[in-house]
Structure 1
Amino acid sequence: MSGEGAPVLSVQDCRGLRVAVIASLWHEKVMDGLIDGAQRALKEYGVEEPELFRVPGSFELPVVARGLAARGFNAVVALGVVIRGGTPHFDYVCEAATMGLTQVSVDTGVPIGFGLLTCDDEQQAVDRAGLPGSKEDKGFEATSAALSTAVLLRQIATIKH
């Protein structure tokens, strides 16, 4: 099972963090689970007033993430699902979204929670969506990672030269 050996994050002191969640509209059932997981993490870690934005598909996640990073968000969580089909479209969308989100994070210094599921079939997506019976909760995990990184970056900013 993927997810084995995942770190247990203890995220503390998220007060004052401005956090946005971007979620694709494709695969509604899976996306509902991912969004619920992200919202549970935000609440558990005390993030007040997170904002949710919806985009047509996973391909649009990077450009919206860049826009939000430029608007002063301390962390952005990107949620999407791409399920393999019979054409190379899967490979192009997965690579473009992954590279785009990575570039946004590196260029802006804003952590991007990577909640983009890239699955061979719908059952794999459901198993990772944090739904009842799912094996994993990638919405919660991606949010926790983004918050943990944002808190660490805030700590690093206080280091004196």
Structure 2
Amino acid sequence: MAGFGEPGVTEVDAAGMTVGVVAARWHGELTDHMLDRAVAAAKACGAETVVARVAGSVELPVVAQALARCCDVVVALGVVIRGETAHFDFVCRSVTDGLTRIALDTGKPVAHGVLTVNTIGQARDRAGFDGSAEDKGWAATVAALDAALTIRALG
């Protein structure tokens, strides 16, 4: 966590927009809370939500792609914690590359709300719990909506 540089956008006027949120079930205590925060952010911005769940983070891109067909923005939420093998690196690369490709191919914002951390404590500190330093479910949702509004303004 860098701890600095956050733009400070907490809500935008996204009335009439639909946010597709896909969340992994792996590390459910964390992802369930992040999902709740993403849905709350969409509601605070005046947007509707469509929610989908998948087993793990590797499955996020394919469902995000499906959501991009019917939603204005997509938010992908998951938690990947480094272990003792290279699996962490492969999962993180696969998810990041997949979500980026969907955004570029569809021209719709796809927020990368996947926590890629070394410890469960680092994940908890980013998941938006009371006392957490960050709230990635909320922040990813608002960032995606903000990007959609910018694209819309560009015509």
Q: Can you give the 5+ residue segments of structure 1 that lack an aligned partner in the other structure? A: none
Instruction: Name the SS of the counterpart of 1:14 in structure 2.
Output: coil
**Does 111-120 or 2-11 show the bigger shift?**
2-11
What residue is the counterpart of 2:51 in the other structure?
A: 52
Following superposition, the deviation at residue 124 of structure 1 comes to: 0.4
Q: Is the 8 A contact 2:12 2:142 kept in 1?
A: no
The TM-score, its normalising length taken from structure 2, stands at 0.95
**What residue in structure 2 maps to residue 30 of structure 1?**
30
Are residue 151 (structure 1) and residue 149 (structure 2) matched?
A: yes
* Mapped partners of 2:6, 2:19: distance in 1: 23
Partners in 2 of 1:14 and 1:95 — Cα distance?
Answer: 30
- 4+ residue runs of structure 1 moved beyond 6 angstroms? none
Letter in 1 for 2:39: Q
Query: What residue number does 1:81 align with?
Result: 79
Distance 1:102 1:3, change over 3 A: farther
CA offsets 1:70-121 (integer angstroms, 9 cap, x no match): 2x31100000000011111000000000011001000110101110100001
Q: Which runs of structure 2 are paired with 1:109-124 in the superposition (5 Å)?
A: 109-124=107-122
Q: Is residue 73–residue 110 contact of structure 2 (8 Å, CA) maintained in 1?
A: yes
1:11 shift after superposition: 4.4
SS in structure 1 of the partner of residue 100 of structure 2:
helix
Structure 2 residue runs of 5 or longer lacking an equivalent are none
Is the CA contact 2:10–2:139 (under 8 Å) kept in the aligned structure 1? no
Kindly provide the CA deviation profile for residues 40-84 of structure 1, in whole angstroms up to 9, marking residues without a partner as x: 211111113x111001110011111111112x3110000000001
Aligned to 1:19: 19
> Secondary structure of the residue that 2:125 maps to in structure 1?
helix
Letter of the 2:143 partner, please give it.
A
TM-superposed deviation, 1:32: 2.0
Specify the alignment match of 1:41 in structure 2: 41
Secondary structure in structure 2 of the residue aligned to 1:128? coil
* Structure 2 partner of 1:126: 124
What is the TM-score when the length of structure 1 is the normalising length? 0.91
Aligned residues with identical type, % of pairs? 49
Could you tell me which residue of structure 1 aligns to residue 94 of structure 2?
96
Instruction: Find the residue that maps to 1:134 and give its secondary structure.
Output: coil
Shift of 1:33: 2.1
Q: Cα RMSD over matched residues?
A: 1.2
Q: CA deviation at 1:10?
A: 5.8
Query: Aligned residue for 1:67?
Result: 66
